[in-house]
Structure 1
Amino acid sequence: MRRIARLLAGTALAVAAAVPAWAGTGSLDVYPSTAAPGGQVTVNTAACGDKGSATGDAGAVGAGTFTLAPSAHEGEAIGQFQVPESAQPGTYEIVAKCAEGNRQVTGDLVIALTAAHEQVQPRGSMRTGVGGALGTDPVQTAAGVTALAIAAAGGTWLLHRRARGDGI
């Protein structure tokens, strides 16, 4: 019985020691994670507590500071900034420092010439070496359709004879 009590006490102490370390960690979520110059970026974190706010720093990309305020999502602070038009392609660290507790969290923002969520539509044609089944000549098209119709009628006639038992 004492062995079980020691095991439970040891487990409880391990959990109690781990909780503060887990509660102190957090990350800064950056959306979209890839943006183009001039784009709007939203950041949020749950590291600042239920009613926490934070000061964000996007100076690495040239956007300066911004405010993160409590959001409608319980326990999260959210803020926005705009990527300057002069931003160069690369990966930048965005930092948020919680108002209470001096906790600091970071997230990465990738600047690309075009944003990842913008789809580029293909243009032009591609040569694959495979031609079309039907040509542009109406006489050849009519001849092909006639040949297919005769083959279908002949196959149907043969199957009908076979079903009656006449043989082929």
Structure 2
Amino acid sequence: MDTSVLLINAMLYVFLPLWGIAGFADWCCHRATKIEITSGIQESLMHSLMGIQMGIPILMCLLFEVNVLILLICIITWISHEIVAHWDVRYAAPKREISIWEMHAHTYLGSLPLYMLTSILVINWEQFQLLMTLEWAGNMSLLPLENPHGTTSYLPAYLIFMGIVCVFPYIEENLRCLNVYLKKGV
């Protein structure tokens, strides 16, 4: 089997699900420390922002051919995610306990996107070289994938999985925090 296919399968069936599980574990830690009465809506919104920052390149790579444009999106969103992750912990640490379990979840939430980005760069080495040499002409459009990664049912199954383990829990966290924020009348 081709190394690129192996890397894609590792991302689809190992890295992406682990990232979702780590996000759920992180949410459980937030709930246990009563984020709604400690660091509140500000931190909860940072969590949602980080999910969106990583969700965009994941969906782009699952739906479109990877070219210079997609690589730029992946790199920019990864850098911005790292900045917000630093800001998040710096904001939360003095306001609530960050347990050892949450630190472990953060390890996965920070490292898995880097592993996936590195894998994407290796798989699409020619596009990465074009990016680095600023030869972007003809590589800045969104070209839908002819054949989806994984199986034809992978994307819907992954979206359902992420909805259950990340999207709905973090919406619940936002609503819980917003409710407390509004009750305080701040």
Q: Flag whether TM exceeds 0.5 (same fold).
A: no
Bin the TM-score by the shorter chain.
Answer: under 0.3
What is the TM-score with the length of structure 1 in the denominator?
A: 0.23
Q: Which one has the largest radius of gyration?
A: 1
Structure with the bigger percentage of strand: 1
